[in-house]
Structure 1
Amino acid sequence: MPTTRVDLHVKVLDDEVVRRAKAAGIEVLVYAPHFTRLPDIRDRAREFSDDDLLVVPGRELFTGSYRDRKHVLAVGLSEGIPDFVTLDGALAECQWQGAAVLAPHPEFLNVSLSATDVCELRDRIDAAETYNPKHLPHHNRRAATLADAHAIPAFASSYAHRSETVGEVWTEFDTDINDEESLVDALKSGVECRTGHRTGLGHRGRCLAEKLHLVYENTWEKVDRLLLSGMEPTHPRHIAYGGEFDDVAVY
């Protein structure tokens, strides 16, 4: 039976990421950096794809406001969707475009779909993340319980914000995935898959480094974005979106 090993969520992409992915037997990466418009993500994904590694563009959508964020990961978008729109508005657009909708790190801190959200949106979610290096063990257990309770397929990802984390975590699908469309089909049709990750001191150390990066990301980096930066490229009022999302924008 053919299988394909996929890392469904990375934030970084360079030559070192590609080298580590290939060394770990990963054949597909989903590249979904923060606050980056889809055409730019797609261009960079194309640049780093080759015969041995397919890089698929994705968008981790920041729905809601900074105070009430609920992240969803969209794979297979044909048109850009901004951040800071309502959850229902983002999901409706994903559905219209035929994208796969994933729940990254459910119930994690204040940036995720809650258990209530997952229950209410069960028919609109194609997979839920049950392992990533930023989680503590109880986060992984809670996410796995939530996915099981609602019969949602589970996925794992490196959620790599550091290149060193790529290759640590994966999801293996029981099918050939050769392009973006076949990955979307596998996610939306519920193709059988298994999650996996490395173990040992090295893995624990790289997980710790990702957790420390999370602290930075939610303190000094956020202060810089809120106080020093201008309008994000993915802000719904940005000229790039031509007012299309004004009716669901929260800012």
Structure 2
Amino acid sequence: MSDGTAAETRVDCHVKVLNDAVVERARAVGLDVLVYAPHFTRLPEIRRQAASYSTDDLLVVPAREVFTGSWRNRKHVLAVGLEEPVPDFISLEAAMAEFERQGAAVLVPHPEFATVSLGESDLRRYVDVVDAIEVFNPKHFPAHNRRARELAEKLALPPFTSSYAHLPQSVGVAHTVLDRTIETEAELVSAFEDGVARRIVYNKGNGRWRTTALELAHLCYENTWEKIDRLFLSGTEPTHPHHIAYDGRFDDASVY
């Protein structure tokens, strides 16, 4: 990872896209680690893709952003270090219990954003389970990021940031610098769970607003035609709790 005199690692804590362009971009901006958590993709496939793009100078860590609750009232939680797959569309309680059972690092992306995030009451309930809260997200407007920082301070939760990149050019525009050398998935999980010291880095210039505009445009697409295709044309998602891959383990926790 980082080869400077300081023992630190630059981590983009949440990206949705992974290909050659993403890897090239990550290297160009000096990242050491990418946390890869695509939507509606089962953990074994995420692990396979992450391993295929990891190199000596860039570690790609597999993760799952689990959609808890229903589509209209879903609450996203990012889990790093899962050993066994966890489906979407289960209750928040069941997801948190499973993350805790598996010893995963639990990160809260984009708190209180639209209808897809944990709110203050959720954070208070699970403050002993959550390892970090996102305090800057390029999709957010300043008021959203201020509120996220306020929550982190109020609840004494360690911060993190990410590019939340759905587009290759967004990778690295926001990232977290951990005050520790990270060379494996297990070391990243430990760093989050240990609350290791860190710096939050993000682009404050005009490029930040270009990233925001492009990513929000992608978000609008993702939640319109793509959503309709997923829910009504594509059949059962591979991360649906009733999928055969989960062998009925999450049937009681399913919201559908």
TM-score normalized with structure 1 length? 0.98
Contact 1:28 1:56 in 2 (8 A): yes
Structure 1 residue 54, shift from structure 2 partner: 0.0
Structure 1 residue 199, shift from structure 2 partner: 2.9
CA distance in 1, matches of 2:14, 2:172: 11
CA distance in 1, matches of 2:69, 2:62: 22
Name the structure 1 match of 2:52: 47
Q: Deviations over 1:38-89 (max 9, x none)?
A: 0000000000000010000000000011121011000000000000111010
Q: Which of 18, 21, 31 lines up with 2:23 in the alignment? A: 18
Q: Which of 202, 207, 214 lines up with 2:207 in the alignment? A: 202
**Map of 1:139-178 to 2, 5 A cutoff?**
139-178=144-183
Q: Deviations over 1:10-42 (max 9, x none)?
A: 000001100111111110000000000000000
Q: Deviations over 1:133-188 (max 9, x none)?
A: 11111110000100110000010000000111012110000000000000000000
Letter in 1 for 2:123: V
Q: Does 1:246 align with 2:255?
A: no
Contact 2:9 2:179 in 1 (8 A): yes
**Map of 1:48-63 to 2, 5 A cutoff?**
48-63=53-68
Q: Deviations over 1:200-234 (max 9, x none)?
A: 22232122100111111112211221221200000
Task: List gaps (5 residues or longer) in structure 1.
Answer: none
Find the residue that maps to 2:10 and give its secondary structure.
strand
Contact 2:9 2:178 in 1 (8 A): yes
Letter in 2 for 1:237: H
Name the structure 1 match of 2:84: 79
Name the structure 2 match of 1:179: 184
Q: Which moved more, 1:173-182 or 1:190-199?
A: 190-199
* Aligned residue pairs, count: 251
User: Could you tell me the percent identity over the aligned residues?
Assistant: 59
Structure 1 residue 120, shift from structure 2 partner: 1.5
CA RMSD of aligned residues (A): 0.8
Structure 1 residue 247, shift from structure 2 partner: 1.6
CA distance in 2, matches of 1:167, 1:197: 8
CA distance in 2, matches of 1:176, 1:46: 19
